[in-house]
Amino acid sequence: MSCVQELQLLEIMCSYFQEQSKDAVRQVIFSALFSLQGNKADESRMATLGKLVSMAIAVCRVPILECAATWLQRTHSAWCVRLALVLVEDYCTLVPGSISTLQNICSASPRFCCQLITAVTALYDFSSEELTPPPSLLEMVVGWITEDPRLLLLTFINMPLSSSLPLGCLEVTPLAGLLRWCVKAPLASHRARKSAPEQETTPTCDELYSKLHLSVLQVFLMLQVHLTEQNLLGRLGVLQAESVAALVEEVRVLVEELNTLHAANHIQLALDRLAQALQVAMATGALLCSREDLRALCSRLPHNK
């Protein structure tokens, strides 16, 4: 298929989903086109999906973004991360000035943006320099959340309690991923500065992570209100103990990589953020875990002040 034919196909798809008035029909067709089957055609499906969603963002085709939100909710996280990478490359890397186009989508399709945040936090896990969130992406995500913190709970609030997500899919909220960003950012920034001493840490990024940390704590408090209203407090945890255990282990490994003496302030900040978040998560019912289990979980970390 030539580039012109591919563009024509994408335009036809955009028009179809825009003109189809029944959401249920749109969702079925979208699923039929882009559900992954475990065969060679999956690569072609993913390539087309990435271009279609990118085009939908550019021309603000909300029906496609809503279908993409459902796809992100029900597809294995490995594929979701790939879609997120395509969008980040299109709007943050290739043409940096186009980030405003993606930023403006939040008011048109907040559900898509909630799922996109979950996907990008799964993608950028600070395991390497390349997997550190680009500053423009960080700024956009923090802007979305600061403007409307409830954005992070949209998928969770609108998901029927009886529904179960497929194995290996993204978490139901981006909270665990955002907590990872807040906690690991100080450690990763020191690691980057150690490998490139001439490179200064960006104060703006430090401030953004600080704002993000505060927003995550605020969302835990909002979540408590929702759980109480739905009579789910103490019965349904949103921050999974497995996610916390994985984060604790990642922090332990990062701390061991750093020179404790020279990185003392960064380590202290990371541990403080982790302790604050876990304390608030337990108090608000977001994390269902006994203090004894949590203490055992965190016992391998350095002591914070």
**pLDDT (tens digit per residue) in 144-185:** 999 999 999 999 999 876 667 778 999 999 999 999 999 999
Task: Give the end of a domain, one of 172, 188, 209.
Answer: 172
Among 143, 172, 201, the domain boundary falls at 172
102 with 85, same domain: the answer is: yes
Q: Length of the chain in residues, anyone? A: 305
Please indicate, yes or no, whether residues 157 and 21 belong to a single structural domain of this protein. yes
SS3 label, residue 102: helix
> Strand pairing partners for 169?
76
Residue 235 pLDDT exceeds 60: yes
Say yes or no: 168 and 199 in one domain. Answer: no
Checking 270-275 for CB contacts under 8 A at 24+ apart, the result is 270/183, 270/184, 270/185, 270/186, 270/187, 271/301, 271/302, 271/304, 272/304, 273/182, 273/183, 273/186, 273/213, 274/179, 274/183, 274/247, 274/248, 274/298, 274/301, 275/304
Q: Are residues 138 and 276 in the same domain?
A: no
Whether the CB-CB separation of 92 and 149 falls below 8 Å is answered with no
**How far apart are the C-alpha atoms of 233 and 73, rounded to whole Å?**
24
Instruction: Sort 81 into a burial class: Cβ within 10 Å, 0-12 / 13-18 / 19+.
Output: middle
The verdict on 197 and 151 lying in the same domain is no
What DSSP character marks residue 169?
Answer: B
The answer to whether the beta carbons of residues 113 and 84 sit under 8 Å apart is no
Q: Considering its fold, how many domains does the chain have in total? A: 2
Are 284 and 164 contained in the same domain? Answer: no
| 133 shares its domain with 196 | no
- What span, in angstroms and rounded, lies between the C-alpha atoms of 276 and 123? 24
Domain endpoint, select from 147, 172, 197: 172
Q: What's the whole-number mean pLDDT along residues 118-134?
A: 94
For residue 242, give its domain range: 174-305
Name which of 73, 79, 76, 102 is nearest 89 in CA terms: 102
* pLDDT tens per residue across span 26-82: 999 999 999 998 898 999 999 999 999 999 999 999 999 999 999 999 999 999 999
Beta-carbon contacts of 147 under 8 Å, excluding residues fewer than 6 positions away, are: 106
* Residues 21 and 38 reside in one and the same domain: yes
Which contiguous run of DSSP H or E holds residue 58?
helix 41-59
Contact 195, 263 (CB under 8 A): no
Quote the percentage of the chain above a pLDDT of 70: 93
154 and 194 inside one domain? no
**Close Cβ partners of 276 (under 8 Å, ≥ 6 residues apart):** 213, 217
Q: Residue 39's CB: how many other CB atoms inside 10 A? A: 8
pLDDT band of residue 262 (cuts 50, 70, 90) is confident
Whether 162 and 218 share a structural domain: no
Q: In whole angstroms, give the CA distance from residue 253 to residue 28.
A: 44
Q: What is the pTM of this model?
A: 0.93
Does residue 198 register a pLDDT over 50? no
Question: Residue 199 above 60 pLDDT?
Answer: no
pLDDT the model gives residue 193: 61
- Is the same domain home to 16 and 123? yes
